[in-house]
Structure 1
Amino acid sequence: MKYQLKYFFSISLLFTFLMSFAQQNAPSKERIKITGTVIEKISKQPLEYATVTFINSKNPKAIAGGITNAKGEFAIDVISGVYDIKIEFISFKLNEIKQKNLQSSTNLGKIALEEDAAQLNEVIIRAEKSTVEIKLDKKVYNVGNDLMVKGGTVSDVLDNIPSVSVDVEGNVSLRGNENVRVLIDGKPSNAINIAEALRLIPADAIDKVEVITNPSARYDAEGGGGLLNIILKKGKNQGLNGTFIASTGIPDNHGLSGTLSYKSKNFNIFTTQGYNYRNSPGSAITNSRYLNSDNTTKNYVNETRENDRYNKGYNGNFGLELYLNESTSWTNILNYRKNKGDNVDDVFQKNYDQNYVYDYTRNRTNEENSDSENVEFSTNFTKKFKKDGHKLTIDGSFSTNNDLNDAIITDKATNSNKVKFDNTINNQDQNRNLIQMDYVLPLGKGSQFEAGYRGDFSKLVTDYRVENDGVINTNFTNTLEYKEKVNAIYTQYGMKINKFSALFGLRFEDSNIDINQLATNDFNTKKYSNFFPSAFFTYEISDESSTSISYSRRISRPRGRMLNPFSNLSSNINIFTGNPDLNPAFTDAIDLGYIKRWDKLTLNTSLYVNKTTDVFQFARRESGDFVNGTPIIISSPINLATEYRAGYEFTLNYSPYKWWKLNGNFNFFRNETQGNFVYTDFNNQEIVQNFDNTTTSWYTRITSKVSLPYKIDWQTNATYNGPQNYAQGRSLGVFAANLAFSKDILKDKGTLSFNISDVFNSRKRMMDSYLAGVVDSYSEMQWRKRQFSLSFTYRINKQKNERERQPKNDNNDNGGDFPG
């Protein structure tokens, strides 16, 4: 968008120069100054970079013009005469003053521009350091200068976005649904561990995040809960621009990052570099009462765990965008990530008899070293044709990723002199290739056709080995080979008639999945082909309100940890194993949306219903093995029959005063699960566990931004996740709050920021679980304790409050919006 703004700016300067030259050669006419202010019609806020053009009706070639400043003001010298005056701003309707007789210097007053309703009634909260664009099919969060994420990572950014939450382990959920697909620049992340990869990318590298709760057919069908598209900065302003951030914190949280770009008429060079060193100390407890078959107490085990996770991470990319001509561009980006970590996991298990009399303590210390490396090359070719919106894009992404985790587990107990040593090695190699082509063709006023192809081909080999006192444990040793080939084609058609818009789409995906356990020669192939229809309808009730209804079908394919039967042995009595026989889950989603705008308030509401078949569910069961009489409990994912999810969400943006801005998000949902878990236990008996369960829960977040005197900004946000019932337990409610301050220095080129993450040290996952005749337990898990951070930001040739508006059709959208 900044490219287009600078383009108009350059044209305006050229027009001004030509007019000035013409004026010097026309002495018979008087030179006068025309002034005025351009504002937005609804909010009355000034519009910077609006273009004002004067055209002499008697001599169309005689043109003067200019652009508005940060206050929306313009002052343009013209020759006295009669003019047609055009006032323009991208994505706003043209305001034209016909045959204006200007014989002396004149102030035109305030000129209001109205947003173009054809663009999904996009709502932009202006004059914000970080803005939220609310559209009927998605929310776009422009990261800007969010105080909460200075010196932070992508995970920190996501956790500050309405409708999105990141749990204590880094898992992302959308409207309470963890089955969400994360894209980077419109492509799926190539990382093996997506939660860890998001912690490597510095927050300053992000331009914006698109939250798409009900994606259309142009998007990958993966992700039953919706999509998050993280768009990285590529440089938009002409000339040399950059931002550099240095940060430090307690516990250890030190980092350096920078984005730099140079843009000219023929090319754009950009890079992001970031290095961080972090310690994320965490803790956990699991207090268990083990049961006899009649549910009487057998014994107690209280397990405590302390973690110190040290990570050194580097993330860097380098990109070159070539403007081959006015309508064709070619972009190439090379990205490299490197991460090394040391994770010390100290577990104490205090054992008590049935009368809660202390017996002995077992100590397991897991010292894990991790090393991951990722290389990715991506390319994009974009061709724009003469007709507005007519374009062809071709994308390719090719990557390789290696994760190596080596752990030594020392096991000793106070009732024995024997010390046991376990060694686990987990080596994962992944290769991923993606090819995509999208074509958009406007068919006339108010209609548009799209079509495209996508091929996603990946291979992941996980070599997991366990050694007990130097002897390989064949029960936990395995090599899993996962191959995925997905070919997809889609088409969609959109139309707009007066205030009514419709978008119909159909996507076809052919999936070929191989899941091979090489150690046991167990080969499993899953092939399936599916259609994924989508339909969107919108109606513009007025200039201030719109409503929509949409439908889409989605798929969730199990991957990685969900499939791999290897175990994590940090605890030897609570073990997670994957299930290589998992089938994909399918979701039908309906979403009813409504937007209403007032002068200082914007309300966006959504009522949604999802039905998911073969939904994933984690089930606990006895393994049949014991450690000193304590049964080993296995947790594993399974396919259940059906899940129904319904909810209501609303987002409020309110600016009571220029110095105070509030953003609130609330989500209430109801989940109903229907299905039985049938398995054969270690006694060769068929066990039927009924997982029928109905639960309600809610989530809310409020963010306050206050501008204080002396250029000090104060930001606070608070979140609450309500309790939720599961078939085998219950999670408790969690409250957390963050606080941040910033101060501009060095003539606004620099900013000092201080923030406290998890002010009350209360962000924990707390759960009660119950398995009849086996165990009754309570657990708490805190991934990262309260953190204090201080950061310094310095900008080169870039103002702090500079706004970069996006073009109507962004290449990262993989297509166009509704036709307009």
Structure 2
Amino acid sequence: MTSLPSTPPRPTRPPQSSARTLSRLGLCLAFVPVQAWADTPAPASGQNAGQALASGDQAASADIVVTGRASGTTTTIDRKSYSLANDLQAKTGSVADVLRNLPSVTVDVDGNPSLRGDANVQILIDGRPAPQFNKANRGAALEQLGADTIDRVEVLTNPPANFKPDGSAGIINIVTKHRRGRGAAVQANIGSGGRFNLGGTGNTSLGALAVHGALSVRRDVRDRSVTDRKQTSDATTGAFRSATLLGSDSRSDRLSESATLGGDLDLGKIDHLSAEGSYTNRFDHASYAENDTSFDPAGATTGRASRDRPGTEKQTSSSAMLRYRHDISHDGSNLTVLAQRSETTENQQLHYADSVLLPAADPTEQRQSLRFGEVTRELSIDFTRMMPAQAKLILGYNLQRDDNHFDNFQSVAVAAGGAEIADPNFTNVFRFGQTVQAWYGSYERSIGKLTVLAGLRVEQTNVQTDQVTSDERGSRSYFRAYPNLHLMQKLTDHQTIGLSYGNRVIRPDADDLNPYLIQRDAFTLRRGNPNLMPQEIQSFEASWSYEQGATSRSATLFYRRIHNSFTVVTTPIDASTVLVTEENLGRSQSGGIELAAAGRILRGITYTISGNLLYNQIDASNLGYAGTRSTVSFDAKAGLDWSLDAKNVVQANVGAVGRRLTPQGYRKGYVTLDLGYQRKLRPNLTLTATVSDVFASRREASVIDTPGLSERIDRRLAGQIALVGLSWNLSGTKKKGGNAFQ
């Protein structure tokens, strides 16, 4: 085979902004929360301040709750909760930044989270689904959401029946800060690379009405480079056909604006009404420069071209929620009815300018327009009954309707200034509709030192697809049951053991079902698969935990058995072009052990450490690959907090991700380091400085090695971000004849 050059010709990087020039001089300054809170204290980090859904925040019995005070970890029968109070990245960074520091969670170079090596995660905000965080661009959304508004993060790897079963890995529930009484907070940050954010929150009480709101503006600049080396050969004879080399640099300049307004009204002692609306607008100005080279079997260069692709992407998301709760008794029994609607629209406009240098040809132009819209409507009814013997019963119904619309356009490449002509291979309209009805029940009871949580969720799913352009319609209906069981035994005042089992599902995304092509680059096409089946998962766990004061230890064995697992398959369609699509594996299984610990080394020095040893086995015989493939991988992270004295704290976080298996190859791992420093200048004034990805080592390499195709893609993010911030806290204290905010 012909060896490709180790380094591709790099395109010219797009012009840098003046903000970028300033960042090179190290001029980064941030002013983070200036707060004035009323005298009503905020809930402690271990409390559930974010009860957005009564059914979405199931409390375990008091005798099986284990709290690690210094480590900020709370363990209950169905979840682990991690406080962000001591994470310095939470003062200045995004949600993606703080998720990297949590046990069980890894985050890739694009901000997409995984739980124990599985990227199929359901993201909730205050117990409610957030559409913008559960789509293909969830990483970009998580990188744009500031972490300073978050109280804690809950991880549910085997959620109970009152949660939706979507996502094989489980649920990450982001619980935001909720202040009571009157208060306000204002934030302003400026950082390296032209980054900044401005924001404010406020809340007040007007008799029986409590009102809260938030505003924010955030700019984030991301530079990425990609090197893609492909070699194709005859799958039968092994004869070399061709090789291609792609090198690209891109910059994404994102500006997002968001607003939230909500209120809680007490209609009486037992009736309560809540409403909340939110709006987010994200505008992304992207620049992209690419160089392509192709080679023949003798290694001679047969083609050389370059491509510039400026473009814009606009995403708008809005949601509205109305909830009514009737308290049946003072022990927590209630009836809750919730209705919500969310809408997301995306509009991506890309313009291509191609120059062919070998063989010489006239430059061409091309346009690509990708439009997407989604509307989700949901109604849920939950009945919670507190019963004798520390028992609780939850019964509920949930109805969800999703409607998606895709309008994709791509023009034929024409000479500069030529008339724009639609390319029928790529231009199309596709619609998708899905209705899910669910009925569920969950029962929890303590029997001595043993707590049992058992539940069953049954769902009827109806899917309709309409490829309008080609007049292809399809429908599918299926009924599934999702049982789950949790057991937790209290061994001592500080030790517990637990067992859990659950069934879950991953439904195909709407765009994964569209059979029309989308062009990713000069050598790569993508197509949906209308025959893609839902992925079904059985999950088993056994755990042990010990927590006392500043010390915590835990160990968890887990195993997943998966049917119809999703996988990405890359297939050569000619000498230089490959087709990427999604397929169902026959079956796969994975498992491993997770270890975590936190405690104090010396006076003033505390640590956290966690890691997963992962085993993954894939059977891809239904895709034409003989036998099974397996691998052992790992991910690990460690954090160190050093209180130099009463005013100064230094923090370091190290993360490592091992090699991951794919049906056609593997993905390589990487190691990263984040640093933070905090100094208390005054009792109410704190300086915080953070640097993420200190050695700029956050990268991703994926390898494909099959009889017909050999490919390596290296993706590197310029993720080294420095921020310096000031935090000024002004607590309200009531004085006679004085202002509550003095």
| Aligned counterparts of 2:515 and 2:717: Cα–Cα separation in 1 | 24
Q: Do the aligned partners of residues 308 and 565 (structure 1) sit closer, same or farther apart at CA in structure 2, a change above 3 Å counting?
A: farther
Query: Radius of gyration: which is bigger?
Result: 1
Partner of 1:671: 616
Q: Which whole-Å CA distance do the structure 1 matches of 2:318 and 2:327 have between them?
A: 30
Q: Count residues in correspondence.
A: 675
Change (3 A) 1:8 1:606: farther
Structure 1: unaligned runs, 5 residues or longer = 1-5, 11-47, 51-88, 92-115, 625-629, 679-687, 800-820
1:532 is the counterpart of 2:532? no
Do the aligned partners of 1:205 and 1:272 also contact (CA within 8 Å) in 2? no
> How far apart are the structure 2 equivalents of 1:622 and 1:357?
21
Aligned residue number for residue 17 of structure 1: none
The one-letter code matched in structure 2 to 1:305 is S
Equivalent residue, structure 2, for 1:394: 337
Aligned to 1:639: 584
After superposition, the C-alpha distances for 1:437-461 in whole angstroms (9 at most, x for unaligned) are 2211122122221101111111010
Q: Which residue is equivalent to 1:278?
A: 220
Write the deviation string for residues 602-633 of structure 1: whole angstroms up to 9, x where unpaired: 11211111111111011111224xxxxx4311
2:178 corresponds to which residue? 234
How far off its partner does 1:120 sit? 5.9
Pick aligned residue for 1:267 from 188, 209, 230: 209
Q: 1:757 aligns with which of 674, 685, 692?
A: 692
- Residue 154, structure 1, aligned to residue 95, structure 2: yes
The answer to which of 119-128 and 444-453 deviates more is 119-128
- Match status 1:785 vs 2:719: yes
**Whole-Å Cα distance in 1 between the matches of residues 320 and 723 of structure 2?**
33
CA contact (8 A) 2:226 2:247 kept: yes
Secondary structure class of the residue paired with 1:340: strand
Aligned-partner residue type, residue 446 of structure 2: K
Q: Secondary structure at the match of 1:487?
A: strand
In structure 1, distance between residues paired with 2:301 and 2:449: 73
Could you say which residue in structure 1 is the equivalent of 2:671? 735
Where 1:382 maps in the other structure, the secondary structure is strand
Tell me how far 1:731 sits from its aligned partner.
1.5
1:655 aligned residue? 600
Aligned to 1:769: 704
Q: Which residue of structure 2 lines up, in the alignment, with residue 456 of structure 1?
A: 400
**Partner of 1:205 in structure 2?**
149
What corresponds to 1:121 in structure 2? 64
- Structure 1 SS opposite 2:141: helix
Mapped to 1, the partners of 2:526 and 2:47 lie a distance apart of 53
> Is 1:187 matched with 2:128?
yes
Distance in 1 separating the partners of 2:428 and 2:283: 24
- Counterpart residue number, 2:528: 578
Residue 444 (str. 1) matches residue 380 (str. 2): no
Contact 1:731 1:767 in 2 (8 A): yes
**Alignment correspondent of 2:119:** 178
Q: Secondary structure at the match of 1:160?
A: coil
Q: Could you tell me which amino acid in structure 2 is paired with residue 505 of structure 1?
A: G
Please say if residues 364 and 571 of structure 1, whose CA atoms lie closer than 8 Å, have aligned partners that are also in contact: no
Retained in 1: the 8 A contact 2:232–2:572? no
Question: How does 1:656-735 map onto structure 2 within 5 Å?
Answer: 656-657=601-602, 659-678=604-623, 688-690=624-626, 692-709=628-645, 711-735=647-671
Which amino acid counterpart does residue 399 of structure 1 have in structure 2?
S
Q: CA offsets per residue over residues 715-758 of structure 1, 9 Å max, x none?
A: 1111111112322112112111111112233x333332221111
Kept in 2, the 8 Å contact 1:235–1:241? The answer is yes
Contact 1:154/1:199 (8 A) holds in 2: yes
Q: Cα gap change, 1:328/1:751 in structure 2, threshold over 3 Å: closer, same or farther?
A: farther
Go from structure 1 to structure 2 and tell me whether the alpha carbon gap of 1:558 and 1:241 turns closer, same or farther (over 3 Å shift).
same
TM-score, normalised with respect to structure 1: 0.78
Q: CA deviation at 1:141?
A: 1.8
Greater length-normalized contact order (CA 8 Å, ≥ 6 residues apart): 2
Residue identity matched to 2:183: N
> What's the CA shift for 1:540?
0.8
Which residue number in structure 1 is paired with residue 108 of structure 2?
A: 167
Look up the match of 2:554: 604
The answer to whether structure 1 residue 142 and structure 2 residue 75 are counterparts is no
Indicate how the Cα distance of structure 1 residues 784 and 575 shifts in structure 2: closer, same or farther if over 3 A, else same. Answer: farther
Query: What is the letter of the counterpart of residue 712 of structure 2?
Result: Y
Paired with 2:619 and 2:301, the residues of 1 have a C-alpha distance of 41
Q: Which residue of 1 aligns with 2:274?
A: 331
RMSD: 2.6
In the alignment, the residues of structure 1 paired with residue 678 and residue 88 of structure 2 have an alpha-carbon distance, to the nearest angstrom, of 7
Residue 691 of structure 1: CA displacement? 6.8
After superposition, residues 509-548 of structure 1 pair within 5 angstroms as 509-548=459-498
Which of 519, 527, 536 pairs up with 1:569? 519
Give 1:371's match in structure 2, choosing from 314, 325, 333: 314
Q: Supply the AA of the counterpart residue of 1:137.
A: D
Normalised by the size of structure 2, how large is the TM-score?
0.86
Say whether the 8 Å CA contact 1:242–1:797 is kept in structure 2: no
SS in 1 for 2:69: coil
> Where does 1:13-92 land on structure 2 (aligned, <5 Å)?
none
Percent identity over the alignment is: 21
Give the match for residue 296 of structure 2. 353
Deviation of 1:140 (Å): 0.9
Q: Which of 300, 303, 309 is 2:246 aligned to?
A: 303
Distance 1:201 1:304, change over 3 A: same
**Cα distance, 1:49 vs structure 2:** 11
Q: Which moved more, 1:493-502 or 1:565-574?
A: 565-574
